[in-house]
Amino acid sequence: MNTIDIGPWSFRAPSDWKKVEGVNGIPYLESKDGTKGCYIKALTLGRTYSSATEAAAYLQGVHERNFVADPKAKWEVKQRSASTAGATASSILDLLDASSNYRVLSVVVAAPDAAVQLTLHDYACEDYRASVQAFEPVATSIRGPRSGA
């Protein structure tokens, strides 16, 4: 696993995932075989939310609406959860389109004025449990925000 720093945030990604050109300038890591990937967004929020929980829920809600708006996809919500730890809040959204063998795991960690969002994609999700195990170390490794970064 390699540590990836983005703004005041960090997380761990598999060593064989390499940075490739992302969409619209959003950093993207991809597995050597191209079956898994991760979009990375570090955000300074345009306004300060009343709580980290509110910020995380807002960002995750926008992300979810964008996915479910796709008329070609048949997304099933496998997990939706929220938690807090100190001054940050986390929101997890796990989507699966079984007919396409496509899984998306969105993890948001937010403070009231900043956030990071990792969107992990499994483009060949034939074994949901194996995909969960593959993404779990990345999803749980997010740290931050560090002050002054």
| pLDDT tens digits along 76-117 | 999 999 999 988 999 999 999 999 999 999 999 999 889 999
110 has which bridge partners?
89, 115
Q: What number of H helices and E strands is found in the chain? A: 2, 9
- The label of the residue with tokens 């796709």 reads 70
46 pLDDT above the threshold of 70: yes
Which pTM does this prediction carry? Answer: 0.94
pLDDT for 136 beyond 80: yes
pLDDT at 62 (0 to 100): 93
116 vs 107: CA distance, rounded Å: 8
The conformation of residue 146, written as its DSSP 8-state character, comes to: P
Residue 57 has pLDDT above 90, yes or no: yes
Confidence of residue 149 (pLDDT cuts 50, 70, 90): low
Q: Where are the beta strands (DSSP E) in 62-113?
A: 76-85, 88-97, 102-110
Per-residue tokens: 29: 């890591």
pLDDT band at 129 (very low <50, low <70, confident <90, very high): very high
Residue 111 to residues 25, 132, 140: CA-CA distances in angstroms?
Answer: 23, 26, 16
Q: Which two structure tokens, joined as six digits, stand for 88?
A: 């940050």
Is 120's pLDDT higher than 90? yes
